[in-house]
Homo-oligomer: A and B are copies of this chain.
């Protein structure tokens, strides 16, 4: 029986034209295709991405938030609320979230940016195991030091592991195992972007304080303290470049070294009321520090001795440490110097909270009701709205569809970045409101002036807040400048 059904289906499939060639004439006039994007990855003529088909529950539910109402008490900050309502994340266990497709697009863009900046300063990407042996962590004494923050488990043979919250031990052990490096091979910068685990006592604020999260962690090996500090600065500069490309105002503050250890440390903080870190910022010079590192009540600046320190709150999105030889000494990570003598390598470690940057950016850039993304990180750059079906201008549906197609084809940077809101049973106004809430950088309304002899399109530009009326050429000029990653 089963077999019979299968064979029937198979035969039908084989007797079909290749799907890329049997595209429906208009996706809006009766879309019945099997898949959201018909055709193979090689087809040059892919139809637009349809909002009705995106698994972004706020779209699927057509503005109802039924599934989330019971959870509204748990929504403790703006980014969490916006990300839940916008169908970017969905809660699973405490401090653990499903990252839904729009969020994954955004995260992949952020990872590409991070890759560019880390590789730009010589970083090489690797990937270390999540399971870290107890023995490794006992050697650094962090097995005990980390206490309940470590997720611990035993395998079937009784061997003990933790789930790595960070990888100083693992990377230093790797280096030590490779035989002795030459000083000529330094600095060596190794990094990864992987899922990390930390058993937070009170996970909260959505992705800002979770138990499972993505982090970029880089580890540097240098020949001397001086060289290590040059590397340290190069990484800090790369971090500042990254935040500047994201349009985020990030403050680099003097920080405590915590249980990571080492002698010099900075945090990269986004100023926000929801932030859990208290910062002291000088009104006169560039000095700023985590309040933890200061004497309680101190308001005079220790650097310029002139300015007054005022308190702000910040969300930590990055952290850098000059470690010295703390780990390389324990694990014997050595290099041969120019006299061919083995010397313990100087290390640094450098973290960026990948999922945390996404949440923190939404936290600081958005309004109460509408997400605003760093424009490079918006899941899609452009949303095109055709008229309501049954309206006087319903025949413009084809224009909207063709516009989506030609934007993606003519402008290389917009390939895969344009969606068509085909839910034409809804008014333009309702869909426009939804599009604004989700934070598309550009929303194009195909309204009645698109039927004019000189067609005009209404374009809402989120960053500038402007609404423009543009010809097709004007639209191409505007969108031709959109940078994507």
Instruction: List chain A positions with a Cβ less than 8 A from chain B.
Output: 2, 5-6, 8-10, 12-13, 34-37, 39-43, 52-55, 57, 60-61, 64, 66-67, 90, 92-93, 96-101, 103-105, 107, 116-117, 119-122, 124-133, 148, 151-153, 155-156, 159, 161, 163, 170, 173-174, 177-179, 181, 184-185, 187-190, 194-195, 197, 199, 201, 211-212, 225-227, 229-231, 233-234, 241, 263-264
Give A148 to B197 CA distance when docked, in angstroms.
22
A40's partner among B43, B66, B241 (CB-CB below 8 A) is B241
Given contacts A92-B129, A131-B96, A195-B130, contact A226 B153 (CB under 8 A): no
Q: Is the CB of B170 within 8 A of A92?
A: yes
Q: Are B98 and A40 in contact (CB under 8 A)?
A: no
Q: How far is the CB of A449 from chain B (nearest CB, A)?
A: 30
Inside 8 A of A201's CB, which chain B residues have their CB? 156
Known: A10-B233, A13-B230, A127-B104. A133 touches B93 (CB 8 A): yes
Q: Is the CB of B64 within 8 A of A161?
A: no
Starting from the known contacts A2-B263, A96-B129, 15 additional A-B residue pairs (CB-CB under 8 Å) come to A9-B233, A10-B233, A34-B122, A35-B187, A35-B189, A52-B185, A55-B124, A55-B190, A92-B173, A92-B174, A93-B132, A107-B127, A130-B195, A131-B211, A155-B211
Tell me whether A181 and B60 are in contact (CB under 8 A).
yes
Q: Is the CB of B36 within 8 A of A212?
A: no
Shortest Cβ distance from A46 into B: residue: B120
On whether the beta carbons of B98 and A129 are closer than 8 Å, the reply is yes
Question: 23 A-B Cβ contacts within 8 A?
Answer: A6-B264, A34-B227, A35-B121, A41-B116, A41-B117, A57-B178, A61-B179, A93-B129, A96-B129, A98-B128, A99-B128, A100-B126, A101-B124, A101-B125, A104-B125, A107-B127, A129-B212, A130-B130, A131-B211, A153-B153, A153-B163, A156-B199, A194-B195
* Cα distance A40–B42 in the bound complex, in angstroms: 33
The answer to whether A99 touches B126 (Cβ under 8 A) is: yes
Contact partner of A185 among B41, B60, B152, CB < 8 A?
B60
For A41, the chain B residues whose CB sits under 8 A away are 116-117, 119-120
Q: A79 to chain B: closest CB distance in Å?
A: 18
Contact A178 B60 (CB under 8 A): yes
Query: How often does this chain occur in the complex, in copies?
Result: 2
Contact B133 A55 (CB under 8 A): no
Name the B residues within 8 Å of A117 (CB-CB): 40-41
**Residues on the B chain within 8 Å of A132, using CB:** 93
Contact, CB under 8 Å: B55 / A188: yes
What residue in chain B is nearest A170 (Cβ atoms)?
B92
On whether A127 and B98 interact (CB within 8 A), knowing A2-B263, A13-B230, A122-B37, the answer reads yes
CA distance A120 to B126 in the complex (A): 28
- Report whether A151 and B153 are in contact in the complex, using a CB–CB cutoff of 8 Å: yes
Task: List 5 A-B pairs, minimum CB-CB distance, nearest first.
Answer: A35-B122, A41-B116, A41-B120, A153-B153, A96-B129
Which residue of chain B is the closest to A178 with respect to CB atoms?
B57
Q: Is the CB of B179 within 8 A of A66?
A: yes
Cβ contacts under 8 Å, A184 to chain B: 52
Partner of A98, one of B39, B55, B174: B174
Q: Which residues of B contact A57 (CB under 8 A)?
A: 178-179
Tell whether, in the assembled complex, residue A37 and residue B234 are in contact, meaning their CB atoms are under 8 Å apart. no
Which chain B residues border A179 with CB–CB below 8 Å? 57, 60-61, 64, 66-67
The complex places the Cα of A119 from the Cα of B105 at a distance, in Å, of: 12
User: A177 to B60, alpha carbons, bound, how many Å?
Assistant: 12
The residue of chain B having its C-beta at the shortest distance from the C-beta of A171 within the complex is B98
Flag if A124 contacts B67 (CB, 8 Å): no
Q: Could you tell me if B97 and A212 are in contact, using CB atoms closer than 8 angstroms?
A: no
Point out the residues of chain B lying under 8 angstroms from A126, CB to CB.
Answer: 55, 98-101, 103-104
Most buried by B among A12, A98, A117, A152: A98
* Cα of A33 to Cα of B184 in the assembled complex, Å: 10
The distance in angstroms between the C-alpha atoms of A179 and B54, with both chains bound, is 15
Q: Which residues of B contact A241 (CB under 8 A)?
A: 40
Evaluate contact between B119 and A178: CB separation under 8 angstroms.
no
Min distance, Cβ A171 to any Cβ of chain B, angstroms:
9
Q: What is the distance, in angstroms, from A66's C-beta to the closest C-beta of chain B?
A: 5
* Pair B130/A212 contact, Cβ less than 8 Å: yes
When the two chains form the complex, which single residue of B5, B225, B234 contacts A34, counting CB atoms closer than 8 Å?
B234
A151–B153 Cα distance when bound, in Å, is 8
Closest CB of chain B to A36's CB: distance in Å? Answer: 4
* A23 vs chain B, min Cβ distance (A): 13
In the bound complex, do residue B37 and residue A177 qualify as a contact, i.e. CB atoms below 8 Å apart? no
